[in-house]
Amino acid sequence: MNNRLNIAKTYKLYIDGKFVRSESGRFEALQINEDSVVVNICRASRKDFRNAVSSSRKAVDGWWARTAYNRSQILYRIAETMDGRKEQFLEELQCCGMKTKAAEKEFETAVDRFVYYAGWADKFQQLFSTVNPVSSSHFNFSLPENQGVIAIMAPISSPLTGLVSLIAPAICAGNTVVCLTSGNASLAGITLAEALHASDVPAGVVNLLTGIESELAPHFASHLDVNGIVYGGSDSHISKQIEVDAAENLKRVKIFLNGDWSDEAIHSPYDILQHCEIKTTWHPIGT
Amino acid sequence: MNSHILNFYTTPIVDEIGVKERVARLNSRSVKKQSKMAALHLALSMIDLTTLEGMDTPGKVIQLCQKAKYLHAPFSDLPMVAAICVYPTLVKTAKQELEGTAIAVASVATGFPSGQTDLQSRLAEITYAIEEGADEVDMVISRGKFLAGEYESVFEEIARAKEICGKVHLKVILETAELTTLDQVRRASEIAISAGADFIKTSTGKAKTGATQPVTLVMLETIRDHHLKTGEKIGMKPAGGISDSKTAIRYLVMVKETLGVEWLTPKLFRFGASSLANDVLMQIAKQKGGAYQSADYFSKG
């Protein structure tokens, strides 16, 4: 006979390297299986988002100042840490309705994505840098640098692979991110935050919020201190409004409506370039 | 006659827990919408934009003065900041740059920030700052003497500084982080006020901690007690570490609740700060436009 009581986990937001409840005190109940087990998940407010952005902003310079090799090591470390928590991830993916096989594929693809981008972290700059011909006595070269703070709205359909496919290229390029996961996807999302927390990822490089997409999208898109926004959801009204609001400060917008996240073709070094600014330098010859 | 002899050994003791609870209670006040907008504008008008670094140059001070004159071009209804606060050698530069505006120039003096030099040269520094054109002088007290219990000599140095200042505003910096207890803060405040300070100011910004709310509340209460006794109005200036609007508004609530609306003016209340102005401007822009702001769109202070 087992008299031990279940210990229900509190799923909290991940802001500035800390697990916190929403400042609004709001939460949503999620029924995660047929036995009516209910989990309470924080419902982030616009102020939580604001706090997350200031944390990401603070973290940008330090993250970019690290060597590309070190960013690579940390991305690989995330894959290692995730792999050690396989059981937990699988359980949570099944909670949101995935079959065992599908959950396993989802998990493995997600881990592989981190390995993939870990490999690219110290290579993409040389690949995308160019020496440009100019008609004066200058060396002229262009190279990609980080953009800053990227806001990410992750898909519900692919709780782990979708989220990782959006986070990994952005932080690989030396950016910091604020992500939103919604609905059932929040469980695996927050567990990913725990893996990140245990993987030498500096505070603020990834901030993870759980909440309602339609409520937070206008704030994600209009915040003037956000440099780029990626929408991975499935609502074309929201994606359109994001494009309109993002125009205010010329955020770079990338929309994946109903993307197939398990597809190998979805990851590529061009996704890293998407999150870069190109800097061109003119250097006089022979002086 | 005896009642006229000041005795700083018997100043009131402060209930530290009570002060903290009062601060916490005042912090729970919610200031929204029009009141928030009014508070933000008021806070802006009370700022002493400050630069007190060893590496300050005339160029840096000119930049700061430009910031003071043109806070944020897109908004036409912004108030001016109260003053620019610099080292004595840079007063002339600031004065020239601010000619024709209502913005005052404040100078720190008397061996800022430690005050550890002889009285003659400290007083000479005040004379120099005033000759250079300072409208306000921020002096430091000798914390060493104060902590050794030599209250008369601290009184003496402030009184002589005030003598030199004459009509020039004298702000007395207590450097509360070094006074260790709220009892000492109360005592130092009483000494400064009775020696003729126009303003009392918490910190130099060079110690481990700057202004805190409990310390400010104790100083405000000293000002209130003095006002009740004599009718005189002494000003207050918290400085150091106040960098966001939310904190600034909390200070304003404390002032209003302790001293009343009469003190909600730059003549009697100032913030010593370098980065507060931009945060207030960003909050005003947020209130007007709805979107969260980025420091990229505001000039550097």
Q: What is the pLDDT of residues B87-104, one digit of tens each?
A: 999 999 999 999 999 999
| pLDDT above 70: residue A159 | yes
Give catalytic status of residue B198 as yes or no.
Answer: no
CB proximity A225 to B under 8 Å:
yes
For chain A, how far is it from start to end, CA to CA, in angstroms?
Answer: 84
pLDDT beyond 80 at A131? yes
Tell me how far CA of residue B253 lies from CA of A279, B22, B194, B221, in angstroms. 48, 12, 26, 14
**Lowest-pLDDT range, A69-83, A179-193, B3-17?**
B3-17
CA distance B193 to B195: 5
Q: Residue B9 has what pLDDT? A: 87
The active-site residue out of B67, B95, B162, B237 is B237
Helices (H) and strands (E) in chain B, counts: 11, 8
* pLDDT at residue B2 tops 50: no
Backbone angles phi, psi at A94, to 5 degrees: -70, -30
Q: Is the pLDDT of residue A222 over 70?
A: yes
For the ranges A31-35, A186-190, B49-53, B196-200, the lowest mean pLDDT is seen at A31-35
Of the CATH numbers 3.40.50.12160, 3.40.50.150, 3.40.50.300, 3.20.20.70, which one belongs to the domain with range B38-297?
3.20.20.70
Please give the domain boundaries of chain A with CATH numbers for all domains: 46-284 (3.40.605.10)
Reported as a pLDDT band with limits 50, 70 and 90, residue A287 is low
Distance from CA of B294 to the nearest CA of A (A): 4
CA distance B251 to chain A (A): 22
Digit-coded pLDDT (tens) for B149-175: 999 999 999 999 999 999 999 999 999
ipTM of the complex: 0.83
Q: For chain B, which residues make up each domain, given as ranges? A: 38-297
User: How many other C-beta atoms can be found within 10 angstroms of the C-beta atom of residue A110?
Assistant: 28
pLDDT at A31: 76
Q: Determine which helix (DSSP H) or strand (DSSP E) holds B281, and give its type and residue range.
A: helix B276-289
A248/B292 Cβ within 8 A: no
Residue A152 φ/ψ region, left for φ over 0, alpha for ψ in the -120 to 50 degree band, beta for the rest:
beta
| Secondary structure in 3-state letters for B82-122 | CEEEECHHHHHHHHHHCCCCCCEEEEEECCCCCCCCCHHHH
Q: In terms of CA atoms, which chain B residue is nearest residue A227?
A: B294
- Kindly identify which residue of chain B lies nearest to residue A245, measuring between CA atoms: B291
* Residue B4: per-residue pLDDT: 57
Q: How far apart are the C-alpha atoms of A70 and A91, rounded to whole Å?
A: 32
Residue A250 is given by DSSP the state T
Q: What is the pLDDT of residue B1?
A: 38
Which amino acid, one-letter code, is at B102? Answer: A
The mean per-residue pLDDT over the stretch A54-81 comes to 97
> In chain B, what residues touch A225 (CB-CB under 8 Å)?
292-296
Q: In what order do the strands lie in the sheet with A138-146?
A: A130-131, A138-146, A276-284
Query: Is residue B241 scored above 80 in pLDDT?
Result: yes
For residue A1, is pLDDT > 70?
A: no
Distance from CA of B298 to the nearest CA of A (A): 12
Distance CA A242, CA A223 (A): 11
- State the pLDDT at residue B223: 97
Whether residues A225 and B290 touch (CB distance < 8 A) is answered with no
Yes or no, beta carbons of A222 and B291 under 8 Å apart? yes
Cα A145 from Cα B241, distance rounded (Å): 33
CB contacts < 8 A, A to B, total 22
Name the minimum distance, in Å, from the CA of B273 to any CA of chain A: 20
B33 carries an active-site annotation: no
Residues 256 through 295 of chain B touching chain A, CB cutoff 8 Å: 290-295
Question: pLDDT tens digits, residue range A16-37?
Answer: 999 999 999 999 888 776 666 7
Q: What is the mean pLDDT of chain A?
A: 93
pLDDT bin (cut points 50, 70, 90) of residue A67 is very high
The chain B residue lying nearest A221, using CA atoms, is B291
- Cα gap B228→B224, rounded to integer Å: 6
Q: Which residues of A touch B295 (CB under 8 A)?
A: 225
Q: Is pLDDT above 90 for A283?
A: yes
Give the chain A residue whose CA is nearest to the CA of B296. Answer: A225
